[in-house]
Structure 1
Amino acid sequence: MRVKEFKIQSFVLILISLILGFSEFIIIGILDDLSKEFSVSVATTGYLVTIFALVYAISTPIITSTLRSNLYHAMLVLALVFTFGNALTIIAPNYTVLVISRIIVAIVSGALVSLSMTFATVIAPMAKRAWLVSWIFSGFSVASVFGVPLGTWISTTFGWRFTFITITLLSIITVLLIIKTLPHNLMQKKQGHILQQFVIFKDARIYLSVFIQTCSLAGVYVFYTYLRPIFSKTLSFDAGLITILLTIFGVMSLISNQASGRIADNKGLRLMPVLYLIEFIVLITMPMLLGNVWSGTIDIMLVGVLMYLVNSPLQLHIMGVAESDYPHSLVLASSINSIFSNLGISLGSAAGGLVVSNFGLNNVGIGGAIFTAFALISTIMLNKVNAAKQTVY
């Protein structure tokens, strides 16, 4: 019975991340449609990604550090706010209301990821932690595999508002599953004062992890934010093929997350410098490779395989440090990865907008390579600190 219960609860936690990913990433698939609907440039609609990620990064530590009540109740309230925000998007009459609705969704999304990770550490036996963490992250990749292409198809076929109707209905179903399956009595242990929880950021193992995650996602999102325009404008694929290509890219990112779990179970962060070096080469050569449809497409798919490899090793590293030395900061620690992922997304998408506006779509890879180089250097430094402290992740 316990095994069956664990499987059901794991499914719900993965489903939460899938819906969160669907809601967050769908903007990338419908940039062109929103641009036409509200008569703004593609670069301007691209800043929806920046705004969402920035609000996400700012709000998540504030919410998670103030959670003192029953964590199940907190998750339920946040899930209802998330549902409301997506429902507001459906009826947005103008670009301003659209931005407001996205801000509402962003405010609670990070805390929901954090709570999912916290629930995962409670319900999963030690041998299954890396598996469940990698699958919670993979929920976002599944959203890329199925959600973004499906949402893009719905948008081009019926209109972008029907995409958010779908997201809202799925959100309602998820809320009902949360009520039915997750433990109702989970409390954060040994939580201290808000400022006391932030002491964790004084640890070199944490602030280097933060910098790695920020630069890693920034490097990817300089490019990823403009994936659909690259397919449609730079590589000149038609709309039908773009949906297929987005699906393939999503499969690549899913492979990335699953490989991330395997890396976490084996060499972990010690392997990441080599992988970042490969990613740097893939991104720095992108402007040249985009000159040909085949080489450009292959290069893009390679980015998909590489983009999430650091997630599980870094998440387990941060949680391990928190459990060992900062137990009063456990929920905040569980949110660090997602907070600074979105800070990286915000930074990368904003940088991507500047690159596109000033240098064109073809050069987004160079901007991504610069951030990836910083992630590479920071990972080497973190591995040295871990070796000195005899911290093995």
Structure 2
Amino acid sequence: MDSHVHLISIVDHAIQERIFIVDATRTRSGSRFFTVPVVTLIALTFLLGLSEFIVVGVMQPIASDMRVSLAAIGSLVSAFALVYAPMTPIGAAVSAKFNRFHALMAMTGIFLAGNVLCAFALNYPMLLVGRIVIATVSGPLVAVPMTFAPDLVGASDRPRFMSWIFSGISIAAVFGVPIGTFIAQQFGWRWSFHLINLLTVLVIISMLRCLPRTSYATGTTRFLPQFRLFTDVRVWYGMCLASADS
């Protein structure tokens, strides 16, 4: 008799625990989507896109200030694209070997350093180096935030989360050029980068305050298979177009 009672107690406990887990999952899935961590990561990708496209709107002021040709300033765009393309898979493979939170913070710091270098560049080579530094981490900085989806949103909201991460770049593609042009006309082209630097600092503070510290390594991604991307002729076609347009 006692064994039956004990068995019933175990089953009842298991049922109650299962109900608690299901309720917790439902609560998480039905909770507000645009939480502070989610908005912070979307803002990060927006800044990545803004930094990439803003140069297009300030090419003439930069050329005048640096006393170089527009063709030379256009090379900033092509150099960015040529570094961005290979460093995206390479950076993803390397960052996968580290704690994702630490990888995200480190790459965001590098992104900030590159923009600071651009803002205070004394000559064209310094500006070019700054753009290359930014391009080195911009691709991986889009990929790593995706790994926070399980911690920040419910399973049903993960596709939405990923789409909003990419939307940050899309929004920047639309507004980046006019924002850069307006700021350059009102305050000078360097203030376009100062704005990005200020917003990046705010994003870093927000990430330190709200992103989970229990982040684990993003995986054991193998390095060489990442280069299979470059067997796709469309990748090379896109890189050639980016260079030609600039």
What TM-score results when the alignment is normalised by the length of structure 1?
0.51
Post-superposition offset of 1:16: 0.7
Matched, 1:57 2:85: yes
**In the TM superposition, what is the alpha-carbon distance from 1:6 to its structure 2 partner?**
6.2
- Any idea what SS the aligned residue of 1:186 has? coil
Higher Cα Rg: structure 1 or 2? 2
- 1:347 paired to 2:237: no
Q: Distance in 2 between matches of 1:199 and 1:103?
A: 21
- Whether the 8 Å CA contact 1:26–1:151 is kept in 2: the answer is yes
Counterpart in the other structure of 1:88? 117
In the superposition, the TM-score normalised over structure 2's length comes to 0.78
| Contact 1:71-1:185 within 8 A present in 2 as well | no
Determine helix, strand or coil for the equivalent of 1:45: helix
Aligned counterpart, 2:215: 186
CA spacing shift, 1:55–1:153, aligned 2, 3 Å = same
Tell me which residue corresponds to 1:14. Answer: 42
Counterpart code for 2:213 = H
Of 24, 35, 40, the match for 2:52: 24
Give the deviation of 1:88 after TM superposition.
1.1
1:162 matches 2:174? no
Mapped pair 1:112 → 2:5: no
**What is the Cα deviation at residue 211 of structure 1?**
4.5
> RCO greater where, 1 or 2, for CA within 8 Å and sep 6 or more?
2
Counting only pairs closer than 5 Å after superposition, residues 114-193 of structure 1 correspond to structure 2 as 114-120=143-149, 123-188=152-217, 191=220, 193=222
Q: Report the identity percentage.
A: 36
- Quote the residue 1:66 is aligned against: 94
Q: Is this contact kept in 2: 1:9–1:181, CA < 8 A?
A: yes
3-state SS of 2:35 partner: helix
- Which segments of 5 or more consecutive residues in structure 2 lack a partner in the other structure? 1-26
Tell me which amino acid in the other structure corresponds to 2:243.
A
**Contact 1:82 1:104 (C-alpha < 8 Å) held by counterparts:** yes
Q: What are the equivalent positions in structure 2 for 1:1-393 lying under 5 Å apart?
A: 2=28, 3-4=31-32, 7-67=35-95, 68-120=97-149, 123-188=152-217, 191=220, 193-195=222-224, 198=225, 201=228, 211-212=233-234, 214=235, 344=238, 346-353=239-246
Distance 2:230 2:132 in 1: 26
Residue by residue over 1:243-290, the C-alpha shift from the partner in whole angstroms, topping out at 9 and shown as x without a partner, is: xxxxxxxxxxxxxxxxxxxxxxxxxxxxxxxxxxxxxxxxxxxxxxxx
For 1:192 and 1:136, locate their aligned partners in 2 and report how far apart those are by CA, in whole Å.
Answer: 22
Q: Is the 8 A contact 1:6 1:123 kept in 2?
A: no
| Pair 1:33–1:121, CA change in 2 (3 A) | farther
* Number of residue pairs aligned between Structure 1 and Structure 2: 217
Equivalent pair of 1:21/1:141 in contact (CA under 8 Å): yes
Structure 2 equivalent of residue 337 of structure 1: none
